[in-house]
Amino acid sequence: MTTTATAPDPRPDLLDLEPDAALSVLRAWFAERGEPAYRATQVLGRLWQKPVADFSEMSELPKALRDALGEAFRLTNLELATQQTSKDGTRKFLFRLEDGQFIETVAIPDGDRLTFCISSQAGCALQCAFCATGAMGFQRNLRPSEIAGQVRALRMLEPPLIPTNIVFMGMGEPLMNWKAVSPTLTLLNDPRALGIGARHITISTVGVLPGIQALAERPEQFRLAISIHAPSDELRRSLMPVNIKYPLADVIEAAKAFDRRVTFEYVMLGGVNDQPEHAAQLGQLARECRAFVNLIPLHPGGSMGFVPTAQPVIASFARALRDRGVETAVRRSRGLDIAAACGQLRTERVGRRLPVTPQHDGEIHVAQ
């Protein structure tokens, strides 16, 4: 018995379009039907600001128009497969995509702040030794409707979750999906869409140099965090194979050239990168770039065989950096009682799938 693959939906997805493009398409569509241009603004408002799952729910439009919109366009909706809530208030969501892939989103409350940690790829090609997402391999890039759509989906919960901050620190390397991440940044920031301030949106990267340059060329003040995790090439290569293509010295030069202050992310691995000599080396690198250092205790749930650094050692490491004039923070561990490590919930739900080789399917979109 043979099975026939489902044909792709030919209707354009309005959620993949930046606001200017969506308005242009909608105005032309409404004009063809003799409808006023303001109808386009009405529809755009229900995509992001007061989102609905389907055109049929846009009650401000006549039913005939709602039906016609549904025939002409589509809206990608993420299916909430499962969620977990920590006793500290952290919530982790696992979304099922239309093709059966799964991605994760984490909502982290902290006083009057609510930070969403969002995914940019299903899986990841980079195979960092300590990361559960890297161990599952790369499956595919996400579209803007699936990246910004994570924020949209959480806004449609009852009660809605409205973020103050966004960090691209979920599954995947965002700067290896720049083709989709760049328009997503517009959707997140544009007041006609999600309206989150640029300084409240952080892109985290292992140091994909063309992507850092592309981000620097955007006029908005988006923030950049670089996952350093080791202060020398030899150690970094053993933990992060990407260091072969983008050596630490080149990453540091890119951080120096970036026109905004950069954060260095540094996960603390017991007995691996947490010794006094590592603090001295990291302090030198951070001072060269005037970087802020964020020390991250390893989440034991996704540790991939590594051991978390003891808290007194982390405190000593932080003091050593501060003594060298480096502004340093220790991230407070969140969601320790749930599968909050990156990729952990997805792996628990569906196991590990055979990864796709990105070079073969052309799915990696580094900025050119």
Of these residues, 104, 146, 265, 363, which one is catalytic? Answer: 104
DSSP code at position 54 = S
Strands 79-85 and 138-141: unpaired
Can you tell me the distance from the alpha carbon of 338 to that of 206, in angstroms, rounded to the nearest whole number?
Answer: 25
Of these residues, 124, 128, 131, 342, which one is catalytic? Answer: 342
330 and 314 Cβ atoms separated by less than 8 Å: yes
Q: What is the DSSP string of 105-136?
A: EEEEEETTEEEEE--SEEE-SS--TT-HHHHH
Half-sphere exposure of 308 (CA within 13 A, CB side): 15
Q: What are phi and psi of 154, to 5 degrees?
A: -75, -25
241 and 310 Cβ atoms separated by less than 8 Å: no
**Catalytic residue check, 104:** yes
Q: What is the DSSP string of 238-282?
A: HH-GGGGTS-HHHHHHHHHHSSSPEEEEEEEBTTTS-SHHHHHHH
Task: Provide the residue count of the chain.
Answer: 368
92 and 104 Cβ atoms separated by less than 8 Å: yes
Instruction: Give yes or no for a cis peptide into 159 (omega within 30° of 0).
Output: yes
DSSP code at position 84 = E
Strands 223-227 and 201-205: parallel
The 10 Å CB-count burial string (b at 16+, else e) for 316-348 is: ebbebbeeeebebebeebbbeebbbbbbbbbbe
In sequence order, the 6+-apart residues with CB closer than 8 A to the CB of 324 are: 280, 283, 284, 286, 287
Give catalytic residue positions.
104, 342
